[in-house]
């Protein structure tokens, strides 16, 4: 007979831990929360210190019975849910449902699922931490009050089925504010002048910098003409060369937020996908003879702290693989990233740096391998020496004008040998070499290129950029980013176009009502302060009931006012020119999570829908009769196909170009990467840059 029952959240975690603990332990999964607030009612007794009325979640009755039966057959029950507020709340609910003594030391936590970490954790069980539980309860009740009090108002006044959320509403407001900035943006003209210069067998570029020794802005064409006149017959000569060595330091190991951002930039992962794959790596993967092993530490954290053991292992690996010169003078420590960061946790790192990605590749899915490799490289690089870059700044005189060329090369790669962090504007830090130059060198003028530009509006938010913004503003916490982004899409408040968020008409309408009647809910500072209050509850320095009471006092007044003053709004669908082929009624434009589509105005009697087909102005390269149109897959991904389908089955993920290949005449496609957009021939090796591409590329 087993001595103890261990309860975790998931079967995968149960399987991994069960192998480590042996036959004296029964390990079972609760499948997440077993109790929650009821869906059919608010479930909070506001007048009774916000007492929550928890019920067993529908469908969890059989799981709870199984856990109760198992608990009666053992001497001890351990609750081993995840090491955060949510995990602590799951453990507390289980203790309540199983009639466990709250004073018992039944709570077991570990930051990584490895044999040693699990065995060590079971040597030091503790009591359930009620401060953590109360912080989770306060958040849950706060979100329930906002959602269940505002939503019925929106149903009545705006549209049935609408809902409002505390953090979600702020996220939609941020997206909407950016859209308003873009709409209000007035482009400003500016120019650049680039000189292509030669010396010996090398050609390099220099940009106009000064005129008559004074830095000059090129705001209009007349400014350009003045410079061109000044250099018309001038010889180009090097006047000054500055050499400098600079250091570049590695990025800190991953937090939840930075992992989501970097996985979006480098792997194209949505936030929800990143967390799903990270969960798999954390809970354990079968590694052949080694058995089931958790490959990364807990993935919901805002700490950049590393254990001494992890640093020692990284040192061992770096020394063996790259040499001692790639080690910093002392192990790198990273200060906590955000206010309220949970320093008891570690950063996200591999459970063993010695388990290199290629060693486990055969046991992982493609997505698991790519994410593990990202975590491994980020962690190892964070413990490496800084890179050294030699930078060269060269001033070139041409008559009364000065041009400047800047270049750099890596003299010692340091951490860059393993990993370089991506960035939001898609630029890279590739070496930009300049030929050897010294003052007095005469240069051969090959080409002078003046170019007109216009300033660009701020970019729309990608998932990575929005997560970064939410974190910087103190909105939400590691566990909330991914579900927040999913929720605002499911509710139809935002749509994604080219991997960027746009507010829908519905989203704008809801935010307008919220701004008028519940401005605090949309106030970034108010929401961030509320997150701080929840952190204080977790630390034990603030009473959770007091936090809720202070919020509800003003919120209740807002509710009464909104009930009386909010006017009913009728949302009219935009009618298209197309007729439903099934019932003959007009089709109307609707906005879904992947953008606009056509739907029958006879809904719900007729549920016919059609995608909006966008002609891109290219003749089909296969049948030469149809037109290439933009379509969307069921998952919202844009692809291109012939409008004569099914007669012609041409399809392409890449956008076909209107321009034929100058080398062989075949059709070309647009290929995007972080360096820009290129046209690539589908038949020969010809590629060329897209001219005048001022567009900001996706991360």
CA angle 212, 216, 217 (to 5 degrees): 165
Count other C-beta atoms under 10 Å from residue 493's C-beta.
30
Rounded-to-integer distance, Cα 480 and Cα 464, Å: 14
How, if at all, do strands 442-454 and 51-52 pair? unpaired
Rounded-to-integer distance, Cα 438 and Cα 241, Å: 6
Q: Residue 164: name the closest of 181, 144, 179 by CA.
A: 144
Question: Is the alpha carbon torsion for 578, 581, 584, 590 positive or negative?
Answer: negative
Residue 534 tokens read as: 């929840």
Dump the DSSP string for 397-445.
EETTEEEEEEEEEEEE-GGGGT-----TT------B------TT-EEEE
HSE of 410, CA atoms in CB hemisphere, 13 A: 14
Rounded-to-integer distance, Cα 539 and Cα 532, Å: 10
CA angle 542, 543, 547 (to 5 degrees): 90
Please check whether residue 310 is in contact with residue 318, taking contact to mean a CB–CB distance below 8 angstroms: no
Beta-strand runs (E) in 48-134: 51-52, 55-56, 76-79
What are residue 309's phi and psi, to 5 degrees? -60, -45
Rounded-to-integer distance, Cα 338 and Cα 469, Å: 12
**Longest pairwise C-alpha distance within the chain:** 97
Instruction: Enumerate the β-bridge partners of residue 387.
Output: 248
Residue 599 tokens read as: 């739907």
Please check whether residue 139 is in contact with residue 149, taking contact to mean a CB–CB distance below 8 angstroms: no
Which positions are catalytic? 298
Residue 107 CA: distances (Å) to CA of 90, 102, 124, 125, 130: 11, 10, 9, 5, 12
Helix, strand, coil share (%) of the chain residues, nearest 5: 35, 25, 40
Rounded-to-integer distance, Cα 292 and Cα 105, Å: 28
Question: Is the alpha carbon torsion for 161, 163, 168, 172 positive or negative?
Answer: positive
Rounded-to-integer distance, Cα 681 and Cα 243, Å: 41
At residue 553, the 3 state secondary structure works out as helix
Instruction: Enumerate the β-bridge partners of residue 322.
Output: none
What are residue 189's phi and psi, to 5 degrees? -75, 140
Rounded-to-integer distance, Cα 482 and Cα 473, Å: 16
Please check whether residue 624 is in contact with residue 630, taking contact to mean a CB–CB distance below 8 angstroms: no
Rounded-to-integer distance, Cα 478 and Cα 484, Å: 11
Please check whether residue 278 is in contact with residue 255, taking contact to mean a CB–CB distance below 8 angstroms: no
Rounded-to-integer distance, Cα 667 and Cα 513, Å: 50
Count other C-beta atoms under 10 Å from residue 572's C-beta.
6
């Amino acid at each position: 007979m087993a001595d103890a029952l261990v309860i975790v959240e998931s079967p995968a975690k149960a399987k991994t831990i069960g192998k480590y603990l042996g036959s004296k332990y029964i390990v079972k999964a609760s499948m997440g929360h077993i109790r929650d607030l009821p869906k059919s009612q608010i479930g909070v007794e506001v007048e009774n210190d916000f007492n929550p009325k928890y019920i067993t979640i529908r469908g969890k009755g059989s799981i709870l019975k199984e856990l109760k039966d198992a608990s009666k057959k053992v001497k001890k029950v351990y609750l081993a849910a995840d090491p955060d507020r949510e995990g602590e709340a799951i453990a507390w609910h289980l203790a309540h449902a199983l009639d466990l003594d709250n004073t018992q030391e039944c709570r077991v936590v570990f930051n990584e699922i490895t044999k040693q970490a699990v065995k060590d954790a079971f040597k030091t069980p503790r009591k359930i931490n009620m401060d953590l539980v109360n912080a989770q309860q306060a958040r849950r009740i706060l979100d329930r009050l906002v959602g269940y009090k505002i939503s019925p108002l929106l149903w009545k006044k705006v549209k049935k089925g609408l809902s409002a959320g505390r953090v979600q509403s702020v996220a939609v407001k941020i997206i909407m504010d950016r859209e308003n900035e873009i709409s209000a943006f007035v482009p400003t003209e500016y120019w650049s002048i680039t000189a292509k210069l030669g010396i010996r067998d090398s050609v390099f570029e220099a940009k106009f910098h000064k005129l008559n020794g004074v830095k000059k802005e090129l705001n209009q064409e007349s400014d350009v003409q003045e410079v061109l006149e000044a250099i018309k017959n001038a010889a180009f000569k090097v006047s000054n060369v500055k050499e400098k060595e600079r250091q570049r330091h590695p990025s800190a190991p991953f937090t939840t937020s930075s992992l989501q951002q970097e996985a979006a930039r480098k792997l194209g992962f949505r936030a929800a996908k990143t967390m799903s794959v990270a969960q798999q790596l954390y809970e354990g993967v079968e590694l052949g003879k080694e058995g089931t092993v958790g490959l990364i530490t807990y993935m919901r954290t805002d700490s950049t702290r590393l254990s001494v053991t992890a640093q020692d292992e990284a040192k061992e690996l770096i020394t063996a693989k790259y040499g001692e010169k790639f080690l910093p003078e002392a192990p790198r420590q990273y200060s906590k990233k955000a206010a309220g960061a949970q320093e008891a946790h570690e950063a996200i790192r591999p459970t063993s740096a010695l388990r290199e990605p290629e060693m486990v590749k055969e046991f992982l899915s493609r997505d698991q391998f790519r994410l593990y490799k990202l975590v491994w490289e980020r962690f190892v690089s964070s413990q490496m020496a800084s890179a050294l870059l030699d930078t060269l700044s060269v001033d070139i005189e041409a008559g009364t004008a000065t041009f400047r060329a800047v270049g750099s090369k890596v003299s010692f790669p340091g951490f860059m040998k393993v990993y370089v962090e991506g960035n939001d504007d898609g630029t890279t830090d590739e070496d930009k070499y300049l030929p050897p130059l010294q003052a007095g060198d005469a240069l051969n003028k090959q080409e002078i290129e003046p170019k007109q530009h216009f300033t660009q509006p701020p970019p729309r938010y990608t998932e990575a950029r929005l997560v970064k913004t939410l974190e910087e503003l103190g909105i939400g916490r590691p566990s909330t980013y991914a579900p927040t982004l999913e929720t605002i899409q499911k509710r139809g408040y935002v749509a994604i176009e080219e991997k960027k968020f746009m507010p829908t008409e519905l989203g704008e309408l809801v935010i307008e009502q919220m701004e008028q009647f519940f401005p605090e809910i949309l106030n970034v500072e108010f929401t961030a302060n509320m997150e701080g209050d929840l952190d204080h509850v977790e630390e034990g320095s603030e009473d959770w009931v007091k936090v809720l009471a202070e919020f509800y006092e003003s919120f209740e007044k807002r509710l009464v006012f909104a009930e009386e003053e909010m006017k009913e709004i009728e949302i009219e669908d935009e009618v298209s020119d197309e007729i439903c082929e099934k019932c003959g009624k007009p089709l109307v434009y609707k906005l879904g999570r992947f953008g606009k589509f056509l739907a029958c105005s006879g809904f719900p009697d007729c549920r016919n829908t059609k995608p909006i087909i966008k002609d891109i102005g290219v003749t089909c390269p296969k049948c030469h009769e149809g037109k290439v149109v933009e379509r969307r897959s069921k998952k919202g991904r844009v692809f291109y196909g012939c409008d004569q389908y099914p007669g012609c089955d041409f399809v392409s993920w890449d956008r076909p170009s209107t321009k034929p290949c100058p080398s062989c005449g075949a059709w070309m496609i647009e290929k995007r990467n972080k360096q820009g957009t290129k046209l690539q021939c589908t038949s020969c090796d010809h590629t060329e840059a897209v001219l005048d591409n001022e567009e900001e590329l996706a991360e």
